[in-house]
């Protein structure tokens, strides 16, 4: 089945569900809300931040908010489950850049459409990537690293958590902007890549700041730059790529909340208002920031615009990398 036909089928299911189960905003919520997280429980940054958000969201509501982990296929399994749910405000999708922006270019037959199958609720925040290098490599600044990469084409191996991952595409973005050659080495998880970085088997990683921060604080790796326009609270002394004259080298894993297509517009607005209240709450905000999140928020249109821009940007990087999955 083609992507278009799959998307059309999901759209039809959503419309049918809407006709059967519209929920009046003033009656919502009258029962437990589930938030689908398309990753295994305890699976790093995504699940950690999702659970904090769910706990804080529950404090704003008269009903429970439970996290339902649906891992597999780079998040596709959970996304499809959410797309097929009734558009009644009782199923939320917590998802991120990889599933929503990378997968449309990475998979030949994506079983959902991130734009047509969902209503955006809120852009929750972003966890930036951090370029770190092995201590024996030599460079300690972004300028030095760029020069080294240009003068030694192919000599730098950078590790990631897999083809199409945030760490991979951040490296592809660096290569594109600097006209350098580096070799991508995919791993099945961050632990293996981090171990090989320390031993020198690979020379660099564009790790998420949450994963790299402990190694930076212990002095095991050299931090080069945060791929962001704002500094990370966990590592306030590490400069950003924007500060260092490379504002285009910005990359991270952003997170958003969506609901199935056909959800009542007034209910989406109410969900957005409550979610923004969560992000504005000092205690909730502090918890999310401590987990590595650069808190954002805003209207649903902010996530909608961001998603469309990111799908286009990630498509370019995926094509440049040559990565493709069935």
pLDDT tens across 228-280, in order?
Answer: 999 998 999 999 999 999 999 999 999 999 999 999 999 999 999 999 999 99
* Second-level CATH architecture of 128-226: 3-Layer(aba) Sandwich (3.40)
Angle (deg, nearest 10), helices 3-20 and 76-83: 40
pLDDT tens across 58-113, in order?
Answer: 999 999 999 999 999 999 999 999 999 999 999 999 999 999 999 999 999 999 99
Write out the CATH class of domain 3-127+252-321: alpha beta
pLDDT tens across 173-188, in order?
Answer: 999 999 999 999 999 8
pLDDT tens across 206-228, in order?
Answer: 999 999 999 999 999 999 999 99
For 168: left if phi > 0, alpha if psi spans -120 to 50, otherwise beta; the answer is alpha
Tokens of 50: 């999702």
pLDDT band at 22 (very low <50, low <70, confident <90, very high): low
What 3-state class would DSSP assign to 35? strand
Tokens of 281: 């709450």
| pTM for this prediction | 0.89
- For residue 233, the 8-state DSSP code is T
Portions of the chain given CATH number 3.40.190.150: 3-127+252-321
Portions of the chain given CATH number 3.40.190.10: 128-226
For the residues of 244-310, what is the DSSP string, one character each? TT-TT---EEEEEEEEETT--HHHHHHHHHHHHHHHHSHHHHHHHHHTT-EE----HHHHHHHHHHH
């Amino acid at each position: 089945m083609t992507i278009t036909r799959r998307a059309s089928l999901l759209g039809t299911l959503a419309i049918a569900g809407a006709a059967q189960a519209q929920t009046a905003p003033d009656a919502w919520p009258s029962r437990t809300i589930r938030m689908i997280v398309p990753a295994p429980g305890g699976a790093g940054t995504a699940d950690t931040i999702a659970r904090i958000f769910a706990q804080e969201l529950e404090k704003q509501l008269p009903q429970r908010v439970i996290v339902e982990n649906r891992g597999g296929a780079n998040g596709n399994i959970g996304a499809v489950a959410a797309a097929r749910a009734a558009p009644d405000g009782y199923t939320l999708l917590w998802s991120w850049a990889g599933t929503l922006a990378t997968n449309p270019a990475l998979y030949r037959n994506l079983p959902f459409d991130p734009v047509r199958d969902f209503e955006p609720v809120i852009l929750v925040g972003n966890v930036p990537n951090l370029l770190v290098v092995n201590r024996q490599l030599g460079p300690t600044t972004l300028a030095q690293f760029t020069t080294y990469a240009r003068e030694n084409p192919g000599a730098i191996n950078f590790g990631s958590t897999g083809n199409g991952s945030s760490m991979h595409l951040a490296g592809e973005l660096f290569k594109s902007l600097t006209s350098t050659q580096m070799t991508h080495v995919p791993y099945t998880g961050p632990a293996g890549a981090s171990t090989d970085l320390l031993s020198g088997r690979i020379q660099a990683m564009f790790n998420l700041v949450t994963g790299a921060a402990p190694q930076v604080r212990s002095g095991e790796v050299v931090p080069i730059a945060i791929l962001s326009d704002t500094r990370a609270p966990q590592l306030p002394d590490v400069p950003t790529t924007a500060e260092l004259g490379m504002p285009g080298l910005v990359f991270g894993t952003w997170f958003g909340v969506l609901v199935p297509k056909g959800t009542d517009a007034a209910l989406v607005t109410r969900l957005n208002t409550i979610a923004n209240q969560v992000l504005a709450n000092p205690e909730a905000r502090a918890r999310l920031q401590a987990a590595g999140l650069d808190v954002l928020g805003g209207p649903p249109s902010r996530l909608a615009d961001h998603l469309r821009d990111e799908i286009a940007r990630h498509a370019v990087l995926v094509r440049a990398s040559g990565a493709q999955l069935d």
